[in-house]
Structure 1
Amino acid sequence: MLTIDVSSVVSEDELHGLLQREFDFPSFYGGNWDAFWDAVTGLVEIPGHVRFLGWDSLLEHVPSGGRMLRRQLDNYRNRYRPDLLVEYVQGRHL
């Protein structure tokens, strides 16, 4: 399982930087949602269980980024990985 704390993210650029680091995207990652899709569908292997902590804070500070991230991961799961478990945890603790 990969746990990613998004509670301190305050911009979409910061969100993409965190995703690049946590998912081990290559250095040429473009930092946008098209590049995210390309990375998860062809460049890296997403773990079977991903947990985002502080989801409520992300949606408060970067609502469009949070919605797009969830949409992208839902599309990825629906198309390629029906077994993928993604959790969106309110707050930083379970």
Structure 2
Amino acid sequence: MTLDLRGITTKAALHELFKIQLGFPDWYGVGWASWDAFWDCIIAIVELPEQLVLVNWEEFAQACPKDMGILRQVIQDYETERPGKRIVLV
């Protein structure tokens, strides 16, 4: 599965994209966006495909460098927690 992050320049927009495209529950991101909630969703609530590819992420990284750093850490932790599954930045 590939998610296109083109035009995503805020943390809220990124989490909204995740919610819609990955089938997160209705409560996800309502009025806020949390990396802890994202982690809970990808570990315990939804089953991600074996490989989730994020393309055109550079604009988000430039606009939200702190959150991009958190996303990179989540990606690393996810691969440790779910051997054989990957989230890839292309």
Amino acid at match of 1:75: D
Identity, % of aligned positions? 30
5+ residue gaps, structure 2, are: none
Who is 2:85 aligned against? Answer: 84
Name the TM-score, length of structure 1 as normaliser. Answer: 0.83
Who is 1:46 aligned against? Answer: 48
**CA displacement, residues 10-55 of structure 1 (integer Å, 9 cap, x when unaligned):** 1111111011111110001142111111111111001101111112
Q: Is the 8 A contact 2:75 2:86 kept in 1?
A: no
Alpha-carbon deviation of 1:75? 0.7
Distance in 1 (CA, whole Å) between partners of 2:24 and 2:73 is 19
Other structure's SS at 2:12 match: helix
Structure 1 runs, 4 residues or longer, greater than 4 Å off: none
Q: Is the 8 A contact 1:4 1:51 kept in 2?
A: yes
Q: Is the 8 A contact 2:79 2:87 kept in 1?
A: no
Give RMSD over aligned pairs: 1.3
5+ residue gaps, structure 1, are: 90-94
Name the TM-score, length of structure 2 as normaliser. Answer: 0.86
